[in-house]
Chain A
Amino acid sequence: MRSWTRASATSREPALAGARVAGGAVTLPARRPESTRPWWADVWIQMLRRKPLGTMGSVIVVVMLVAAVLAEWITPYGFAQTSLRERFISMNGAHWLGTDEIGRDLLTRLIYGARISLYVGFGAVALGSVLATAIGMLSAYFGGRLDLLLQRGVDAWMAFPPLLLLMSIMSMLGPSVWNITIVLGVAFGIQNSRIVRGVALVVKEHTFVESARALGAGHLRTTLTHILPNVMPTLIVVATTGLSTVILTEASLSFLGLGVPPPYPTWGGMLSLAGLDHMYRAPWLAIWPAVALSLAVFGFNMLGDALRDLLDPRLKGG
């Protein structure tokens, strides 16, 4: 990662998002004069040119996405298809990564595991982003007593070690894909509402918000069409960097048996203590899920870092 640059750390207008903060004033986002591309295309071009690690991260994420979507077509076995004659087979032509204690193909289960991880990850982050925006913008826009009340609630939530609280909730609700997605989404939303609130507080003070109000825009219109677009770059960054955390948390909970229940294959569940005895016999059962999980976290981390540098340098190191 490059060192802090004074100019971007102090300036209010980040490199690319600046175009939108400055230009989102009334109607159209301002474009740089020489460019007719939409702003997000610029982001990708900058990523390819200046961020090799970010590009690598995007490639990993895209490969994971494709594998997850096409799981049925690229895997020759079913994820719960057992074969008692083929237990604990190490890597060979038929089973590239070997099989587990009841003869299920490990590679197949890893690919389906990517699907679950992404499903829970994207679901939770989408839900969480909406929640974070709602709480953060309400708190920042109306301020006063509502702000105080909401923020004390957020304070209380943040006083818990996150994993402890999530474990408590999941053990009460019982493990299921739906439960964990919703619980992780709510947790993500409450945590990140702070960041949205911070940005919205700054945006709210711009003159264009005042002008919009003076022109007769209602609260809903002001927040949704004038403030929200300027909060968007930050939100995108928070969501991308949050994906790796959410995926890792889901894996931790599944590891403890509180996340996604069997027979769904999840990376955390495959690593879990329940299978420890089998791992002594077949170490690949421990190695490959750990590698898959690390790669996914690496990919999302690098992508998130690069996007943060390009979209919102103010968040750097945060």
Chain B
Amino acid sequence: MKRYILHRVALAIPTLFLVSVIVFALMRFMPGDVATRMVEGHAYAPTLKALRHDLGLDRPVHVQYFDWIGGIVLRGDFGQSYWTRQPILEEFVRRFPVTLELAALTILVSVVLGVAVGIVSAVRQDSASDYVGRVLAILALSVPYFGLAVLVVVLPSIYFKWTPVWTYVAFSADPLANLKIMLVPALVFGVTRAGPIMRIMRSALLDVLRQDYIRTAWSKGLGERTIILRHALKNAMIPVISLIGLQAPLYIGGSVIIESIFRLPGVGLFFFEALTRLDYPVVQSVNLIIAAMVVGLNLLIDLSYAFLDPRIRY
């Protein structure tokens, strides 16, 4: 186990190094130019040259790269925003709980819905409820979450005179008010993500229910509830967990859109605002931090298989 973890961490290092090179190269070699925009639109400095010098953009590219990556590796310093001069890590840490809460609630909604409907569909295969469940899953797969989010924002306010709350309240300040705000975005995002989970839950459970140990359980005289919930479900959860792991990057990408629709001050909104201002260090560092999280999450998920299925050993 310990050796396996070390091995995986060692493999992650070259991956993250390449990730850092890719984001850095993107920011420097693509046509957009932050300095021009800062001087022309916002008069941050008298001349382009002065600003470039100020930001260190006049140095050779490899010096800039090692300055950035060296700061992260040696000092844990992720740099600061060009526009606000605020340290990036601090801002990221401040906003991360919002995004994490959104992701956690979304996953909760989609797993509860997907697993419940999936179990019913599999256990009552080819019945009316199976059919309804499958149609709902296909619908959920087809409706884009941002379209649904816009409809949820617009339609109730026209027809029911009800609007989702727009001003964000921190969880620590007022947990109940905070949950009220997060509920609608999490429901919208979660419902559209439940489709694939339901489909994979259903097919995995059907697969498990045909195995010998389930037949043994039936012939021992166990009840249906015990067989499904205690014996079959744990095994059938493995593909579901790996799907959630595979989809984790989608939750992060989606949070950019969801946060900008519902005005949640999370990492997604931070990233999007930085993008529209071509704030190189913010875009680079946020991309790198999130990529590192994705790599770490995948490792955690691989380790969780051993818990769910004791036959798996590392």
Interface residues of A (CB under 8 A from B): 1, 3-4, 53, 152-153, 155-157, 159-165, 167-169, 171-174, 248, 251-252, 255-256, 258, 268, 271, 273, 276, 279-280, 283, 286-287, 289-290, 293-295, 297-298, 301-302, 316-317
Q: How large is the interface on B (under 10, 10 to 19, 20 to 34, 35 or more residues)?
A: 35 or more
Smallest distance from the beta carbon of A90 to chain B beta carbons, Å? 12
Given contacts A1-B203, A168-B26, A294-B143, contact A162 B148 (CB under 8 A): no
19 extra A-B contacts, CB within 8 A, seeds A1-B199, A171-B32? A159-B15, A159-B294, A161-B250, A162-B250, A164-B253, A165-B287, A167-B275, A168-B23, A172-B31, A172-B32, A256-B257, A279-B154, A286-B147, A286-B151, A293-B144, A293-B147, A294-B142, A298-B142, A316-B203
Q: How far is the CA of A297 from the CA of B196 in the complex (A)?
A: 14
Contact call B276/A171, Cβ cutoff below 8 A? yes
B227 on the interface (CB 8 Å rule)?
A: no
Known contacts A172-B278, A256-B257, A251 near B144 by CB under 8 Å? yes
In the complex the two chains form, what is the Cα distance from A268 to B150 in whole Å?
Answer: 11
Complex contact A255–B23 (CB within 8 A): no
B150 touches A283 (CB 8 A): no
Contacts of B22 in A (CB 8 A): 156-157, 160
Among residues of A, the one whose C-beta sits closest to the C-beta of B239 is A317
Closest partner residue, chain B, to A244 (CB atom): B142
| Bound CA span A197–B144, Å | 30
Would A171 and B290 be within 8 Å (CB), given that A152-B18, A161-B250 are in contact?
Answer: no
Binding site for A on B (CB under 8 A): 14-16, 18-19, 22-23, 26-27, 30-32, 125, 134, 138-139, 141-144, 146-148, 150-151, 153-155, 157-158, 199-200, 203, 206-207, 239, 249-250, 252-254, 256-257, 260-261, 271-272, 275-276, 278, 283, 286-287, 290-291, 294-295
Contact yes or no, A161 B257, CB < 8 A: no
Closest-by-CB residue of A relative to B268 is: A164
Least CB distance, A110 to chain B, in whole angstroms = 13
Q: With A and B bound together, what is the CA distance between A130 and B235 in angstroms?
A: 38
Closest chain B residue to A165, Cβ basis: B287
> Do the beta carbons of A276 and B249 come within 8 Å of each other?
no
Which of chain A's residues have a CB closer than 8 A to the CB of B261?
Answer: 273
Rounded to whole Å, the gap between the CB of A121 and the closest CB of chain B is: 14
Contacts of A316 in B (CB 8 A): 203
Given A153-B18, A161-B252: A271 touches B146 (CB 8 Å cut-off): yes
